[in-house]
Structure 1
């Protein structure tokens, strides 16, 4: 089963969505057969490498609310995240352009460069934590190289990517596919190119989609041996003896 997830590394709901998806997978009986791939989505493609103003001020200007209200929104989001085992610290956040972070996520999954879906997922989690918990400047190249190395990506390879334009086309291709799907918000989950799930849905809801998709892709064929019947079966809450 393929699960493709569009998200941005500065998106708190995306981090929560990842945690809830992991919870949905935890007791999914076919977990080893699920292949997860992260895809690029920039919430603000025009963002500078790093914003000069604090995140709360940026949020207040964006949504036309007061700075106090923005702090309240962050506090509410922090509570939601804590319920899913995440430790958000918006007061530390140093937001900025995420295009380079997405390029490194493509490096992490590129098998020709030693990447894998598992490595990509580790980097994704580390980038979420760098921004939402540790207060790392998410658009700073040296920070990105260090964070990528901490996740297991070769530091020299990461630096070489950021020194050039490698994987830029892959990021844009992801974003083009998002537009084709009609994705306007993230996280967005696509299961087996058939089911689309928008938002950080509860783990139980995500598990239900996984169960449905698996059942449809792997229908059960019931066979009755030649000369046999279903007479020897209990049904309807009773069993004749």
Structure 2
């Protein structure tokens, strides 16, 4: 079963949603048969990459929120995240800037076999450690932590080698009906918007699994030879049961 999860690195509900997705996969009975693919969906492509602005300031400018509204809009997700084990989880007292280059870094890391690790590290660095993700030097620090080649990473970011890939992933999300992030799609046809809780994701996984893995039909056959019993399994015509 293929699960695609579109998100932006500075979206607080995306970081929480990614955590919930990991938990759902771990708890699902067939979690070992689920492949999770993180996809890029930068939400503010028009935002400047420098200087970074405070989240409080961005909420005021973009949505016209006052201080009380900004507090209410962000503290809720902070509390939810911390209740689910993400401590600390800093939203209001963080900073915002254009995430395009950060997503290109993630594409580079994915190409080098560090897909899941790079996404997890980036969310943790931003929300858990209040680190910048917005310039080459900051992203090279993440590259070092992942054990990637620093010069190769710098070249990929300088050349903007993965810019088109990031844009294509965001366009694909919009084609599938995404109007925001996070946005999850199972097997290319079952869409789930928003940071759904773990139980909801588990229910969706089970529903899709049942639809794509129908149980085998069994016929009722009495006194059939060669049927296993508690003492072992006997071949037809054998008097003794064997393992």
TM-score by length of 2: 0.85
**2:49–2:98: 8 Å Cα contact kept in structure 1?**
yes
Aligned to 2:185: 190
Cα shift at 1:52: 4.7
Aligned to 1:140: 135
**1:3–1:37: 8 Å Cα contact kept in structure 2?**
yes
Describe the shift of the 1:222–1:74 C-alpha distance in structure 2 as closer, same or farther (beyond 3 A). Answer: same
Describe the shift of the 1:51–1:81 C-alpha distance in structure 2 as closer, same or farther (beyond 3 A). Answer: farther
Structure 2, unpaired ranges of 5+: 225-243
Count of aligned residue pairs for this structure pair = 223
**2:110–2:118: 8 Å Cα contact kept in structure 1?**
no
* Cα displacement string for residues 189-227 of structure 1 (whole angstroms, at most 9, x for unaligned residues): 100112110011110010011111112221111232666
> Which among 163, 167, 172 is matched to residue 172 of structure 1?
167
Cα shift at 1:73: 2.5
Confirm or deny that 1:60 pairs with 2:60: yes
Between Structure 1 and Structure 2, whose CA radius of gyration is higher? 2
Aligned to 1:8: 8
Describe the shift of the 1:214–1:174 C-alpha distance in structure 2 as closer, same or farther (beyond 3 A). Answer: same
CA distance in 2: counterparts of 1:177 and 1:52, whole angstroms: 28
**2:45–2:98: 8 Å Cα contact kept in structure 1?**
yes
Aligned to 2:107: 106
Confirm or deny that 1:37 pairs with 2:37: yes
CA distance in 2: counterparts of 1:193 and 1:90, whole angstroms: 31
Confirm or deny that 1:211 pairs with 2:206: yes
CA distance in 1: counterparts of 2:54 and 2:221, whole angstroms: 74
TM-score by length of 1: 0.85
